[in-house]
Structure 1
Amino acid sequence: MSLVGGLLLGGLSPASHADDAAPPPSEWTVTGGFYGWFPWVQGSTDANGEEFDIYATPIDLIENFDAPPIMANFEVSRGKFSFWGDALYAKFAFGDDFASEAQPIPILKVGASGQTETDYTLGVYQFGGFYQVADFVGEQGNTTLEVGAGARFIQQEIRIKAKIDAAAQVRLGKLANTIERRIQKIENQEQRLQALAALNDVRREDLDRKIIRAGDKGRERRVAQLEKRLKRVDDRGQALAALEAVEKFRLELLRAALRIDGKQFNDQFAFVGTGNLDWVDPTIALRLQHDFGNGHSVTATGDFGGYNVEEGLSSQLVLTYDIEGTLWGFDTTTSLGYKALWLSYEDQTPRGDVGISAWLHGPIAEVALRW
C-alpha cells in the first residue's frame, strides 16, 4: 500500500519543467504500466442448460482471488497514429454468494451457506490502433477525436459446485429400482414388458445426460407414453402404484444434464460448468480527449465488438481524468476513472446451452510511465 501511495503521489505531482513537455510529433512516444480495476460483476450464465445469476462486488473479487491478477497496458504513438495493447487475467474461487439459481432445481441447494462453490476465470486481451481525425483548439484547451479498430480475445470459464439434498441422494439412487419392482408385479406380461421398455428408455436418456431440464418436452413425452401404457394394465391397484412411482420419477429427474462427479448418486455434490468460453471480437472504437493545457486532461474511449463473427459480443467504455507528472526521473501519466465492460456469449452443446451475459463495471486507476 505504501508503494501504491507513493506511485499515486508521484503521478499526481504536476510537471514543472519545460523538458517535460510533450515531444514533437515526429518522435515516437511509449506509455505503459500496470493498472488496477475494481469492478462489480453482475449478470447470468448458462451452464449445461441450467441458468444461474452471478453477482460480486469489488470487495468480493479482492477477497476471492485464486491467483495474483494481471492488468497491464501500453501505447506507442507518433504524430496522428497510435498503437496499443491491454491484457487482463484474473482467477477467482468464490464461496456461497457468487452464483444463485435463476431457475431453481429442487434437489440442489445453491446459494445457501456452505453449500456451493464457484470457480471463475476471466481473461481479456485487446490490441488495436487509432488515427486522429480532428483537432479543435479553444480557449479552454484543445480537443482531439480519434477513430480506431482492433480485436478483443475473451476467455471465460465458470464451474459451479452445488450440494445435493441428502434425502434426494438416496431417492435418486433407489427410485428407478423401486419403479422397476412395481412394474414387475403387473400381471399382464405384454403390458409389463412395454412399461419396462419405456422405463428403460427414460433411464437410458437420463444416464446419457440428454435431458436438459425437468421440463424437457422429449422426456415429458416419454413419461406420458409410459403413463398411458400403465393405465391399460388389468390390475388397477398395481397400475396406480406404478403410476405413483412414475410421478415421483418425473419429479426426481431434475438433475438433468448435471455432472455427478463420476460417483453418480453416492456423492454429495453436483458439478455444472460452462467449459471454456473463448471468442474473438473485431472492434471499432472512438477516443475523445480534451487537454486543459496545464498537464490535466479528460479522456473518453468507447468500442463495440462482435458483428456476428462468432457467437460472442462485447462492448467497452472507459472514462478517465489524466494528470501528467514525474516519478523517479520518469514522466508519468496518472489516470483515475471508471471502466465498464459488457460480455455476451451463447453456444449450444450436446449437454445443453452454455453462455454468459454480464456487466463488469467499476473504478480504475493507473500510474503509467512515459518515455
Structure 2
Amino acid sequence: MAYDAFLLLSFGGPEHPDDVMPFLRNVTRGRGVPEERLTEVAEHYMHFGGVSPINQQCRDLLAAVQADFAGNGVALPAYWGNRNWGPMLADTVAQMRDDGVTSALGFATSAYGGYSSCKQYWEDISQARAKVGPGAPAITKLRQFHDHPGFVQPHTDAVAAALAKLDPSRRESTRVVFTAHSIPSSMAATAGPTGGRYEAQLHETAALVHAAAAPDLPWDLVWQSRSGPPQVPWLEPDINDHLRILAEKGVTDVVVSPIGFVSDHLEVIWDLDNEAKETAADLGLGYARADTPGTDPRFVAMIRELVLERTEGVSREKLGTLPVWDVCPADCCPPPRRPSHS
C-alpha cells in the first residue's frame, strides 16, 4: 500500500493554567474519577505553571523526525494530532484531507500493547475520520516497538548514566527499579492471543535494559501514576510503596528507570522527580532517575525504520521474542469496565 504522509499521535497536555481542568475532564470522561481527584492532579500541573511538557516534546520529536526523513530520503510530510488536547486529532485529519493526503502512517508515543497505550489510538483514528467525514485519509498505526533497539538502547544508556551518579562503594546494595503507568487489573488480565501484552512487554523491555546496563544488580518492575477510582484494583506495587519495602530490606540506593515512557512528560517529572525522589530522601536512599529517549537520534531513526518496514518492506529490528502485530486482532485489548452510575 502506498502512503503519502506521516502522523504523530500523542496524548496531549495543557499549555496554560486555564487548560488544566478542561484537559483533565477530557482525559477522565466516563471513568468515574471524583472531582476532588482531578483537583489534586491539577495541582501537579500548577506546580509547573499549568503547562505540561508533553506538547513541546512532541514538537521537538516531530522536528527531529522531519529532519531525519529529509536526511534519509523519506518523502513524507509530517503531521501531529492529540487525543485529549490541541492539536486535536480530528482537526489534524481535516488538515490532512485539505492538503490532499489520502493514506498516512501513524506513530503513537507509546511502545506497548494494551487498551490505552495502543487500541485506544486505533479508536481515536476511527473517531477522527468519522468526524471529518468524506475524504478523510486512511490512517494505519505503526506497530508497537517495546523491544526495538532504538527504544531499548537509549533506556540502557540512561540507566548506566544514572548508576554512575550513585556511590560506587554501595553498588552491592543498589537496585534498579523500572516503572510504567499502572492500569486497571482487569485490563492487564484480558484473555486471548494478545491478553496480558502490556505487562509482558514491559517485563521484556526491563529485562533487555537490565541485561545490557546492569546485569549484576537485582531489578523490579513497579507502577506509577494511578488515576482511577479507589475501589477499582490497579497494578501494584506503587513506586513509593516499593521504595519503602526496599529500604526495609537493606537497599541503600536505587536507579529508577521509567521504561513505560518515551519522554519526560508530567507524570515522569512529578511522580518520579518529585514524589518518588522525596520518598527516597525520607528513607535515606540514594536516588537517581534515568532519562527517557526523548529525541535521542537512535529513537528518531527507529521511527523512520518503522515507516520503512511498511513502505519498503525492510526487516523488523527486534531484540525480544514476544510477538507484535501490524494490525491488531479486532477483539484485542478491550476497554476497562466503566463504573455503573445506576
> TM-score category by the smaller chain?
under 0.3
Bigger-Rg structure (1/2): 1
User: TM-score scaled to structure 2, two decimals?
Assistant: 0.23
Give the structure with the higher percent helix: 2
